[in-house]
Amino acid sequence: MLNVMRDNLRHLKWVLWGVAASMLLYLGSFFDWRGSQASGNDWAARIDGHAVSSEEFLEIARSQDERYRALLGPQYDQMKKSLRLGSQSIDALVDRRLVLASAHAMGLQATREEISKSIVESPEFKDPQGAFIGKDQYTAFVNQRVDGGVAAFERRLGEDIVTRKWLALMTSPVQVDDKEVESIWRQRNELGAVDYVVVASASVPFAVAVDDATVESWYKAHPASYTRPESKKLAMLVLDRQAQLAKVKVTDDEVRREYDGHRDQYERPEQRHVRHVLLKVPPGAAEPDVRSVRDLAASVLARAQKGEDFAALARSLSQDTASAPQGGDLGWFGRGAMVKPFDDAAFATPPGQFAPVVQTEYGFHVLQVLEARPAGTTSFDEVKDSIRRRLELQRAQEGAETEAKRIRDKITKASDIARVATEEGLKVEEALYSSDDRLLNLGPSPAFASAVPALTAGGVTAPVGIARGTAIVGCTDILPPALRPLGEVKDAVKTDVLNERGVLSALESARRIAAAGSLADGAKAAKLEVKSSGDLRPGFNLPGVGAVADLEKALFAPGTAVGTKGAARTATGAIAYTVTRHEAFDPSRFAADKAGLRDQVLEQRRGDMLRGILDALRQEHTIELNQRVIDGVNG
C-alpha cells in the first residue's frame, strides 16, 4: 500500500525527467560541436577538451527552472534542491553534443528542403488562417527574437532535424509485437477476485519414506531439473576491501570537510512515522456497502482507542498487504509522499494519537501517528562516525581497485593467474559458474554478472567490483551442459519427491473443500479459514500464497464466471477457491486501445535503449565537469 500511495510522486518524477529530456534533446541546441576554448569559470563542461560554456549551461538551466516552476507551482520551491537542475542541465547538454557528434560521424545531415518545410509547417509562423506568414515577416520575427538571427536559428533547427534522424536510426531496432501488446493490455485491464482456502502441504498426511528406486525413477523422469547448463571454470584473484582498511587514515578535518561540503544531503523535510489499517472499498460499490466499510473502520478505531494492540489489529484486519505483516507500519515519510487526505490527516494528528477515520481512493484508513520529526539538518555529531566509515571504505575500495589494475597488467591469459598469485602472495579462488550457479558468496555484483558470461576459454576480465572489493576473473575451461550425477543431486531429488507428494495430497483436500455446498462449509469442515484476494490482475501473487499458475489460467478464462469453483496447486500445497469477480479480456476494448498502447511501450523501450547508447558514448569520450559552476545551480 505504501508503494501504491507513492505512485503519484514517482509518476511525477518521470514526467519531470521526460519534460527535461525532451526539451533539451529536441527543442534546439545553444552551441555547436566545435565549442569554444573557454577556461576558468567560463566553462561548465569539456568534452575531449571542447568546452560547453557556462553561459550556454545557465541559459538551459534558467529555461529548466521556468518549466519546472510552471509545472509544479507552489511545490516547486520545496522540491527545487532535490531536482538538482544544474546536474540535469549539464547531463542533457553533454548528451546533446555527443549525439550531434555521433550523427555527424554517421553522415547525417539536414537538407535545405527539410529545414524550409519545418519552418513553413511550424504553428509559430502561421497566420490566423493557418497559412505561412511569408519570408519577410518570418525573417523580421526571428531576427528580433533570436541571437544571431535567421542563420543561427536555422542552424539550430538543422541540428534538431539531425538529432531526430539519429534518434530514429539508433532506436529503430526496438519493436513490439502484437502478443506483447496484448499481454500488457491484459495486465492493465483484466480483473478478477476470489475467495480462497489455503491447504498447506505440511498440514496434510502423505508418505514420507522415499526408497532408492523411487529416487532413481524420479531422477530419470525429470532430467531437465538436474541438468547443469554450460558452465565456466573460473580462477579468481580477489583484492579484499577489508584488507585495505588498515592502510587507510581519515582525519577529523576530512570528516568535517565532507559534512560541510555536502550539507544538503543531511537536510530532511518535516516527517511523520505512521501505522495504519486499510479497509478497501470495491470499485463501484453501492452506498450501503461503502457505509458498511466505514462503520467497520470506525469500530476498528474504537477498539484501538480503548487500548487494543494496534499492530495485532493491522496484521489481522488490514488489507494493505505490504504493511499488514509489519503491524501496519509505514515508516517515516515527508509531506506529499502519500495521497492528500492521508497526508493531511497524518500531519494534523499529534504523535501518539489516532486520526479520525480517513477515506481515500483506496478505501478507509485507521491511522496512528507514532512520531513526528521537524524539518532540519542532521547534526555533524549524529553522522560523523558514519561519514568516517564511508570515507574509509571508499578509500579502501580505491586502494583495492588500484592494486587490481596493477596486478591485471601482469596477466595476459587465464593460465597466468596462478603464477601472478604466487608472486603477489594472493590465493586463487576457483569456482564453477553457470546460470544456475550464481556464486552467491561473492555478493551481488552487476559488473561481475555482466563480464563473466562473456568470457571465452582463456579470457580474463578487467577488474570488476564485487561485494568484498575487486576481483580479476579468468576462465580456464568451458564445460558443456550435462546431467548432474545422481549422487550429487540425490538429496534434491528426495526433496522434490516429497514436495510433489505433499502438493498432491493438499490438492486432493482442496478439491473436497471446493466440492462442498459452499466454500465456507468446506473450510469449516477442514478447520480452515476463508480469505478474500482483493482485486487480481494477470501476473498476480495471491496474498499469503504467491503465484498460482493454474488459478490465473482459470480466473481469466473466457468461460469463467462469478461463482465458478475449483482447486489449484501452489508451490507449498493447494487452494480451493470461488470466483467473486470476473472481468475478462474484451476484444473490442483491446482493439480500440491497441495502437496507443503500442506507442507507449515503444516510447518507453526506445527511451531505455537511448539511455544505454548515451552511456556508451560517454565511455568513448573524455568528459570533465566544472562542479563548482554546476553546484551553483543545484543550490
Q: What is the CATH number of the domain that holds 427?
A: 3.10.50
Please determine, for residue 31, whether its predicted confidence score (pLDDT) is greater than 60. Answer: no
Mean pLDDT confidence for 224-242: 90
Q: Which of 434, 460, 480 is the last residue of a domain?
A: 480
Please determine, for residue 36, whether its predicted confidence score (pLDDT) is greater than 80. Answer: no
User: Per the structure block, which three cell numbers stand in for 190?
Assistant: 483484466
* Whole-number pLDDT of residue 334: 86
Lowest mean pLDDT among 156-165, 241-250, 624-633: 241-250
User: Per the structure block, which three cell numbers stand in for 591?
Assistant: 482493439
Long-range contact set of residues 474-477: C-beta below 8 Å, sequence gap at least 24: 474/234, 474/235, 474/236, 474/411, 474/413, 474/414, 474/415, 474/416, 474/417, 475/232, 475/233, 475/234, 475/414, 476/233, 476/234, 476/235, 476/414, 476/415, 477/232, 477/233
pLDDT band for 626, please (50, 70, 90 cuts): very high
Domain membership flag for residue 264? no
Residue scoring higher pLDDT (268 or 327): 327
Radius of gyration (C-alpha) of the chain in whole angstroms: 31
388 is in which domain, residue-wise?
A: 230-250+383-480
Domain membership flag for residue 538? yes
Strand-pair partners of 354: 368
* Whole-number pLDDT of residue 77: 85
Examine the domain organization and report whether 151 and 206 are in the same domain: no
Domain membership flag for residue 53? yes
Q: Number of C-alpha atoms within 13 angstroms, CB side, residue 481? A: 8
Please determine, for residue 586, whether its predicted confidence score (pLDDT) is greater than 50. Answer: yes
**DSSP sequence for 160-203:** HHHHHHHHHHHTTT----HHHHHHHHHHHH-EEEEEEEEEEGGG
Examine the domain organization and report whether 235 and 286 are in the same domain: no
* Whole-number pLDDT of residue 569: 96
The Cα 543–Cα 4 span in angstroms is 16
Q: Which of 374, 392, 407 is the last residue of a domain?
A: 374
* Whole-number pLDDT of residue 438: 59
Examine the domain organization and report whether 139 and 201 are in the same domain: no
pLDDT band for 433, please (50, 70, 90 cuts): confident
Residue scoring higher pLDDT (20 or 165): 165
Please determine, for residue 20, whether its predicted confidence score (pLDDT) is greater than 80. Answer: no
Identify which of 558, 534, 556, 560 has the alpha carbon closest to the alpha carbon of residue 545.
Answer: 534
Mean pLDDT confidence for 119-146: 90
* Whole-number pLDDT of residue 26: 31
Residue 355, helix vs strand vs coil: coil
Mean pLDDT confidence for 361-384: 90
pLDDT digits (tens, 9 = 90+) for 178-207: 888 888 888 888 889 999 999 999 889 999
Strand-pair partners of 368: 275, 354
Identify which of 415, 240, 276, 269 has the alpha carbon closest to the alpha carbon of residue 359.
Answer: 276
Examine the domain organization and report whether 112 and 26 are in the same domain: yes
Q: How many domains does the chain have?
A: 4
CA distances to 45, 217, 288, 345, 545 from 366, rounded to whole Å, are: 52, 56, 20, 10, 26
* Whole-number pLDDT of residue 393: 85
CA distances to 150, 422, 469 from 418, rounded to whole Å, are: 67, 6, 20
Examine the domain organization and report whether 277 and 370 are in the same domain: yes
Identify which of 503, 545, 567 has the alpha carbon closest to the alpha carbon of residue 206.
Answer: 503
Mean pLDDT confidence for 216-236: 93
Mean pLDDT confidence for 460-481: 90
* Whole-number pLDDT of residue 27: 32
* Whole-number pLDDT of residue 442: 62
The percentage of the chain sitting over the pLDDT mark of 70, rounded to a whole number, equals 92
The percentage of the chain sitting over the pLDDT mark of 90, rounded to a whole number, equals 46
* Whole-number pLDDT of residue 41: 62
Please determine, for residue 394, whether its predicted confidence score (pLDDT) is greater than 90. Answer: no
Mean pLDDT confidence for 244-252: 88
- CATH number, position 347: 3.10.50.40
Please determine, for residue 236, whether its predicted confidence score (pLDDT) is greater than 80. Answer: yes
pLDDT digits (tens, 9 = 90+) for 418-428: 999 999 999 99
Residue 532, phi then psi, degrees to nearest 5: -110, 135
Examine the domain organization and report whether 499 and 567 are in the same domain: yes
Domain membership flag for residue 595? no
Please determine, for residue 40, whether its predicted confidence score (pLDDT) is greater than 80. Answer: no
Examine the domain organization and report whether 338 and 195 are in the same domain: no
Examine the domain organization and report whether 80 and 150 are in the same domain: yes
Domain membership flag for residue 52? yes
Q: Which of 480, 496, 516 is the last residue of a domain?
A: 480
* Whole-number pLDDT of residue 29: 33
Whether this prediction's pTM lies above 0.75 is answered by no
pLDDT band for 6, please (50, 70, 90 cuts): very low
E-only strand ranges, 462-521? 464-466, 469-479, 482-483
Domain membership flag for residue 183? no
User: Per the structure block, which three cell numbers stand in for 530?
Assistant: 476463508
Cβ atoms < 10 Å from Cβ of 485: 10
* Whole-number pLDDT of residue 477: 94
Residue 124, phi then psi, degrees to nearest 5: -65, -25
Mean pLDDT confidence for 234-256: 89
Mean pLDDT confidence for 233-239: 92
Mean pLDDT confidence for 271-280: 94
Examine the domain organization and report whether 34 and 124 are in the same domain: yes
Domain membership flag for residue 178? no
* Whole-number pLDDT of residue 607: 86
pLDDT band for 10, please (50, 70, 90 cuts): very low
Examine the domain organization and report whether 161 and 52 are in the same domain: yes
* Whole-number pLDDT of residue 507: 96
The Cα 29–Cα 56 span in angstroms is 9
Domain membership flag for residue 311? yes
Mean pLDDT confidence for 271-291: 87
The Cα 90–Cα 43 span in angstroms is 11
Residue scoring higher pLDDT (147 or 211): 211
Under a CB-based contact definition with an 8 Å cutoff, are residues 224 and 502 in contact? no
Examine the domain organization and report whether 471 and 508 are in the same domain: no
Examine the domain organization and report whether 450 and 493 are in the same domain: no
Residue indicated by cell numbers 565549442: 35
Lowest mean pLDDT among 191-195, 532-536, 542-546: 542-546
* Whole-number pLDDT of residue 498: 94
Mean pLDDT confidence for 391-407: 90
Mean pLDDT confidence for 427-436: 85
